[in-house]
Amino acid sequence: MKALVFTETEKLEYKDFEDPNLINGESIIKVSASGICGSDMHAYHGKDERRIPPLILGHEVSGIIEEGSKKGEKVILNPLTTCGKCDYCNNGRENLCPERVILGVSKPIVRHGGFAEKVLVPDKNIYELPAGLEMKKAPIAEPAAVSFHAVELGIKSLKKPLDQCKVLVIGGGAIGLLCGLILEKLKKCQEIILSEPNNKRLDVCKKNLSFECIDTKNNKINENSFDLIFDTVGMEITRQSSIKYIKPGGSIIHIGLTQPSGSFDFRKATLQEITFIGTYTYSNKDFEKTLDILSKGKIGDLSWIEFRELSTGAEAFKEIHNGSCAAPKIVLIP
């Protein structure tokens, strides 16, 4: 098969790669579409110890079962594999399973991802593609589930109703835009601002959200002015912005993974009872709810997704890297 292979830091090659071999309890999927995630970019930059080249990245995947118990079925994949036995799995918090593994990683086992013509996936991670959701747009289900889970955590942490809260979303990538869409269209949040430094991406957010989207240098954002903040970037500077702009008693939902450490105003967090919640991935129920949301068009037509050929994937990574890409999400088509 052909695959886009991560071969070294900031290098991907489109080349022949060995086909996956069918094993018991799993199926081989003929990939129809696969989205580029921020964590794929972390690997590309050589900053993810879980992803060691040579490796096929990509975990936002839709396709058709080529070999397996439900051959021919159109499917969308939940890329998060968990043990199914621990306390977390038994209590609907699979995303915290200590044995969790996602597609497109090298540790704790090598499991090649979806930037290829075929991918091997456990049957328990395969969902039938719901009617109303286009195959090529379906990979957005994974980041949408991440965003849905984050929004739910944020709302649960609040000390007053969401419709009385002022919300800031930092970052206009896929997670930020999806958080904004969920807050606006599903949760009916009344007062939201999204900030994004990339003007091309900011324009896309403006076209798809009815609330105010501003450049990060805009002086409309004041200290101590938001009840709830979603940091979808995860850099030292965005964490500093979050603690600066959050109100006393407010909540910061930290989704981004760009920089693992850095300075932070813990004094304010302590003195003003700031809630800080880190979140990664989602539960199985979150994923299922997200599929229903997408299939019914509840957060729009997803026209902001950009589609490219898998063979040109290396160039897409370069454009995301240098900031010349406007699209919050690029999906690769084999």
Residue 151 shares a structural domain with residue 272 = yes
Question: Rounded to 5 degrees, what angle do the CA atoms 314, 143, 223 make?
Answer: 105
What does pTM read for this prediction? 0.96
Residue 221 shares a structural domain with residue 321 = no
pLDDT, tens digit (0-9, with 9 covering 90-100), for 275-323:
999 999 999 999 999 999 999 999 999 999 999 999 999 999 999 999 8
Q: Which residues does 30 contact at the CB level (< 8 Å), separation at least 6?
A: 63, 64, 65, 66, 117, 118
Is residue 123 situated within a structural domain? yes
Residue 149 shares a structural domain with residue 246 = yes
Residue 206 shares a structural domain with residue 318 = no
Residue 120 gets which letter from DSSP?
Answer: E
Is residue 287 situated within a structural domain? no
Residue 26 shares a structural domain with residue 84 = yes
Residue 99 shares a structural domain with residue 171 = no
Burial of residue 69 (CB within 10 Å: 0-12, 13-18, 19+) is exposed
Residue 217 pLDDT: 81
Q: Phi and psi for 154 in degrees, rounded to 5? A: -60, -45
Residue 68 gets which letter from DSSP?
Answer: S
Is residue 132 situated within a structural domain? yes
Residue 82 shares a structural domain with residue 188 = no
Task: Characterise 297 by phi-psi region: left (phi > 0), alpha (psi -120 to 50), beta (else).
Answer: left
Number of domains in the chain: 2
Strands 246-254 and 226-231, by their bridges, are parallel
- Write down the H helix ranges in the chain: 38-44, 87-90, 141-157, 174-181, 199-208, 236-245, 266-271, 284-295, 313-322
Assign residue 254 the CATH number of its domain.
3.40.50.720
What is the extent of the structural domain holding 205?
144-278
Is residue 290 situated within a structural domain? no
Strands 55-56 and 2-8, by their bridges, are antiparallel
Question: Nearest to residue 154, comparing CAs of 179, 177, 134?
Answer: 179
Tens digit of each residue's pLDDT, the chain (334 residues): 999 999 999 999 999 999 999 999 999 999 999 999 999 999 999 988 899 999 999 999 999 999 998 999 999 999 999 999 999 999 999 999 999 999 999 988 899 999 999 999 999 999 999 999 999 999 999 999 999 999 999 999 999 999 999 999 999 999 999 999 999 999 999 999 999 999 999 999 999 999 999 998 877 799 999 999 999 999 999 999 999 999 999 999 999 888 889 999 999 999 999 999 999 999 999 999 999 999 999 999 999 999 999 999 999 999 999 989 999 999 999 9
What is the arrangement of strands in the sheet containing 2-8, beginning at the earlier edge strand?
Answer: 11-16, 2-8, 55-56
Question: Nearest to residue 150, comparing CAs of 227, 228, 248?
Answer: 228
Residue 86 shares a structural domain with residue 178 = no
Is residue 294 situated within a structural domain? no
